[in-house]
Amino acid sequence: DVVRKIAAGEVVTGCFSVVKELVENSIDAGASLVEIEIRSGGKEYIMVRDNGSGMTNQEAKLAIKPHTTSKISSIEDLDSLITFGFRGEALSTIASVSRMRLSTAADSEELGTILEIAGGSVTGQKPLSGSNGTFVEVFDLLYNTPARRKFLKSASIEGRMVTEMIQRFILAFENVDFVYSRDSQTVFDTRGAGSLQDRIALIYPGISTRDLIPVSGDSGEIKVNGYVTLPSRTRKNRMGENIFVNRRYVRQFELNYALERGYGETLQKGNFPFAVLFIDIDPQEVDVNIHPQKLEVKFASTAAVLDEVKRAVRSAIKGAGH
Ligand code: ADP
Ligand code: MG
């Protein structure tokens, strides 16, 4: 129990981290639609529903036990991992510090399963009829660790962090639709916004698709794709620089600098571009696990990555006549 609660400190750093883990699981499960709802910033209620593969009754029970993952079967898998999860502790940890309802159905079974869990223990079980997918509801996060619950921020800050998280998923997974609501208000509904441009416009109403320049670089090993804004459409901070490595959002200043250096002289001091950049690289060439919140990654050859980012951005800016 103590170990569980310590692990909770790593997995549950705020409502946003719970949402992040649940949405990652939905994406890993092959969902094409993920619905997210939070109340009071997630402190009262978090739900993530997907139309992915679902779990059998046995899988569902296993999933809420510590250190079980279906995503790795050998140590070699660690090197070529492209799914998000592999520690096999997110769901069980969240379950141990909340009241959770896990409803899930898989193709291979006629009936699905509803598990009611409180503080990690199953308190009820019912069959579920319905289509494939998984529906996780988290009530009263950290209710059984009151000292830790106090560290949750206000509902508005927690909610804002969740919203930022969802924005990144919307940008990074064009093939997945997201419907996100906060206190019963729909914040984002990507259905019908299939292209990255559409999604940028959906999230940033202030950015016109006319201001977006496509970036595409391919050095063979390293691919850099996405959009940047014209040098005349810059901002005063780096918040608009969205950089993803293998579809994971990163905040890693060397990458931001490489992006900015791509603008060369056209970027004035104190100005920063808006960008959505995807760096895609062989998973064996990148270690995503050096940071607990996984906001930084480690490349086998950093210089080559930075060069390719700069080069791709430079050629996009030049192509746009600057
Ligand atoms: P990990 O993602 O690291 O494997 P988790 O604790 O997040 O660990 O999930 C445990 C297991 O539960 C997963 O390996 C997967 O088999 C199953 N699972 C969790 N969420 C879902 C989901 N939304 N759809 C299908 N299976 C899921
Ligand atoms: Mg996971």
Q: Which range has highest mean pLDDT (30-34, 233-237, 260-264)?
A: 30-34
**Residue 304 confidence (pLDDT) above 90:** yes
The arithmetic mean of pLDDT across residues 277-295, rounded, is: 83
Confidence of residue 131 (pLDDT cuts 50, 70, 90): confident
Closest C-alpha among 310, 248, 284 to residue 80: 284
Mean predicted confidence (pLDDT) in 173-191: 97
User: Residue 112 has what pLDDT?
Assistant: 97
Mean pLDDT of 242-247: 96
Span from the CA of 300 to the centroid of ligand 1 (angstroms): 29
In the predicted model, is pLDDT for residue 70 greater than 80? no
- Looking up residue 12, the CATH number of its domain turns out to be 3.30.565.10
Same domain, 175 and 244: no
Ligand closest to CA 35: 1
Q: How large is the average pLDDT for residues 152-162?
A: 97
Q: Show which of 189, 217, 249 is a domain's final residue.
A: 189
Whole-number Å distance between alpha carbons of 307 and 220: 13
Q: If we measure between CA atoms, which residue out of 207, 253, 248 comes closest to residue 228?
A: 207
CA distance 205 to 213: 17
More confident residue, 112 or 267: 112
H/E stretch holding 198: helix 196-203
pLDDT in tens, 28-46: 999 999 999 999 999 999 9
69: confidence class by pLDDT, cuts 50, 70, 90: low
Tell whether 210 and 253 lie within a shared domain.
Answer: yes
- CB neighbour list of residue 121: distance below 8 Å, 6 or more residues apart: none
Bin 321: left if φ > 0, else alpha if -120 < ψ < 50, else beta: left
Q: Closest ligand 1 atom to the C-alpha of 90?
A: 6
pLDDT of residue 81: 46
The reply to whether ligand 1 has any atom less than 6 angstroms from the CB of 103 is no
What is the band of 159 on the pLDDT scale with cuts at 50, 70, 90? very high
Domain with 294 in it: 206-319
CATH no. for residue 271? 3.30.230.10
Total domains, the chain: 2
Residues 210, 185, single domain; the answer is no
Q: Is residue 195 one of the residues assigned to a domain?
A: no
Q: Ion ligand 2 — residues with CB under 5 Å?
A: 25, 85, 90
Q: Is the CB of 55 under 6 A from ligand 1?
A: yes
- For residue 228, tell me if it sits in a domain: yes
Which of the pair, 16 or 83, is modelled with greater confidence? Answer: 16
Give the 3-state secondary structure of residue 113: strand
Query: 42 near 124, Cβ under 8 Å?
Result: no
Q: Is the CB of 134 under 6 A from ligand 1?
A: yes
pLDDT at 87 over 70: no
Mean pLDDT of all residues in 118-132: 94
Q: Is residue 201 part of a domain?
A: no
Domain endpoint, select from 132, 159, 189: 189
Look over the chain and give the mean of its residue pLDDT values, rounded to a whole number: 90
Q: Residue 66: what pLDDT?
A: 80
104 and 220 both lie in a single domain: no
Distance 158 CA to ligand 2 centre (A): 21
106 close to ligand 1 (CB < 6 Angstrom):
no
Instruction: Give domain status of residue 200, yes or no.
Output: no
Residue 82 confidence (pLDDT): 47
Domain ends where: 158, 189, 220? 189
The reply to whether ligand 1 has any atom less than 6 angstroms from the CB of 86 is yes
pLDDT value at residue 211:
87
ipTM score:
0.99
